[in-house]
């Protein structure tokens, strides 16, 4: 590891040759190292080899950081680049995030309200930026292909009972499979409202809070995309609160206190996210087919219920 530290030090003047480096628990997609030098930094190893994509993300962070103090731009190398290549991998160095992460179960309504405000602030600034080079999610899935993918996961779990000791995940996967195989499931959706750049991965693993429950930093911008703002709001309510009514309402009210969004716009975004969420198999395939246990935290530990069935009570209570 000392050779690696030396290579990092050769690229960034902030890292002394005697700095300590410790690999953090692997993320679901990227690897991160904690570096203790005169200050604390985090070195991110990118899973992608697409230089243009990394540059695009870093340029976005640079622009946003001018107007938002919740954005952490990468530290420039000695050659004034935002990342470098060490061996065959690409790395970027970031200052330590301000504040602390809050466990999902510990997120309060106050946290939720501040999360909504922070997300609205992001959307306001992102709306000024042209996002043609970022992806747009096409919300269309083949019915039989997705049913087959879920059946493959079912077969894998059934063949190895040790990976799902209480059978809760197996039950959920079967429920999702059966729903997508039914005539009730929608397999495509075209948003009616306008799209803009959104964070794409706004949840409690990527958001830091200060002692006043205010959002202090937002990290992990590699899923930036063009989608309706309501899509990200619905996604956030699902990932952070499992669509629990009071905290979901607090997040939405926090958002609306900063950025107006009509019932039509919010519901349209929710419908867009619903068809995505109902077809979501990424975490299941990562864990059970690719043995990526870091994705385990993204598998809900409850029965599968179609998204819009859960969203209805939130929408009704809000408007």
CATH assignment of the domain containing 65: 3.30.200.20
For the stretch 278-299, pLDDT in tens is 999 999 999 999 999 889 889 9
pLDDT at 162: 75
Spacing of C-alpha 88 from chain mean position: 26
Compute the distance between CA of residue 250 and CA of residue 21 in angstroms, rounded to an integer. 39
Q: Give the pair of three-digit tokens for residue 209.
A: 């809070």
Integer Cα distance of 115 and 111 in angstroms: 6
Give Cα separations from 230 to 17, 77, 119, 122, 252 (angstroms).
Answer: 47, 37, 11, 13, 10
Whether residue 202 sits in one domain with residue 80: no
152 lies in some domain? no
For 21, the token pair is 């480096």
- Does 234 share its domain with 191? yes
In a domain? residue 156? no
What is the number of structural domains in the chain? 2
Distance, in Å, from the CA atom of 63 to the CA atom of 208, rounded to the nearest integer, reads 20
Secondary structure of 161-200 as H, E, C letters: HHHCCCCHHHHHHHHHHHHHHCCCCCCECCCCCCCEEECC
Residues of the chain with pLDDT under 50: none
Largest CA distance in the chain: 63
Residue 233 counted as domain residue: yes
> Does one domain contain both 272 and 199?
yes
**126 within 8 A of 196, measured Cβ to Cβ:** yes
Dig out the tokens for 175 from the structure: 């429920």
Domain extent at residue 259: 104-140+171-318
- In this structure, the number of other CB atoms found within 10 A of the CB of residue 65 comes to 14
Task: Show Cβ contacts of residue 145 under 8 Å, excluding neighbours closer than 6 positions.
Answer: none
Under DSSP, is residue 50 helix (H, G, I), strand (E, B) or coil? coil
Q: In this predicted structure, what is the pLDDT of residue 1?
A: 60
- CB-facing half-sphere around the CA of 138: CA atoms within 13 A: 3
List pLDDT tens digits, range 154-210.
999 999 877 766 688 999 999 999 999 999 999 999 999 999 999 999 999 999 999
114 and 209 housed in the same domain = yes
- Taking the CA of residue 37 as centre, how many other CA atoms within 13 Å lie in the half-sphere pointing to its CB? 21
Same domain, 284 and 249: yes
pLDDT of residue 140: 98
Is the same domain home to 68 and 130? no
pTM attached to this predicted model = 0.93
Please tell me the distance from the alpha carbon of residue 286 to that of residue 263, in angstroms, as a whole number.
35
How high is the pLDDT of residue 165?
A: 65
Considering Cα of 137, then 142, then 143, then 145, what sign does the dihedral take? negative
């Amino acid at each position: 590891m000392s050779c690696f530290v030396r290579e990092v030090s050769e690229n960034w003047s902030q890292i002394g040759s005697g700095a300590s480096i410790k690999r953090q628990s692997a993320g679901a997609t990227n690897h991160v190292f904690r570096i203790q030098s005169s200050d604390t930094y985090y070195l991110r190893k990118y899973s992608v080899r697409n230089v243009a994509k990394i540059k695009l993300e870093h340029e976005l962070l640079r622009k946003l950081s001018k107007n938002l103090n919740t954005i952490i731009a990468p530290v420039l190398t000695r050659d004034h680049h935002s990342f470098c290549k060490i061996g065959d991998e690409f790395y970027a160095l970031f200052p330590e995030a301000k504040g602390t992460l809050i466990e999902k179960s510990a997120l309060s309504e106050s946290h939720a309200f501040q999360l909504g405000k922070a997300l609205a602030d992001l959307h306001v600034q992102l709306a000024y930026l042209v996002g043609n080079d970022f992806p747009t999610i096409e919300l269309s899935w083949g019915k039989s292909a997705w049913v087959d993918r879920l059946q493959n996961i079912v077969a894998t779990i059934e063949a190895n009972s040790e990976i799902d000791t209480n059978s809760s995940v197996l039950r959920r996967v079967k429920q999702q499979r059966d729903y997508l195989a039914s005539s009730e499931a929608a397999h495509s959706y075209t948003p009616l409202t306008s799209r803009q750049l959104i964070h794409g991965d706004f949840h409690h693993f990527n958001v830091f809070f200060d002692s006043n429950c205010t959002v202090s930093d937002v990290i992990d911008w590699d899923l930036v995309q063009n989608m309706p703002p309501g899509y990200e709001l619905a996604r956030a309510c699902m990932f952070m609160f499992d669509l629990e009514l009071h905290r979901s309402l607090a997040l939405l009210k926090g958002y609306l206190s900063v950025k107006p969004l009509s019932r039509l716009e919010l519901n349209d975004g929710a419908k867009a996210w619903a068809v995505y969420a109902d077809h979501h198999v990424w975490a299941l395939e990562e864990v059970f087919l690719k043995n990526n246990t870091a994705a385990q935290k993204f598998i809900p530990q409850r029965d599968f219920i179609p998204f819009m069935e859960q969203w209805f009570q939130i929408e009704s209570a809000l408007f």
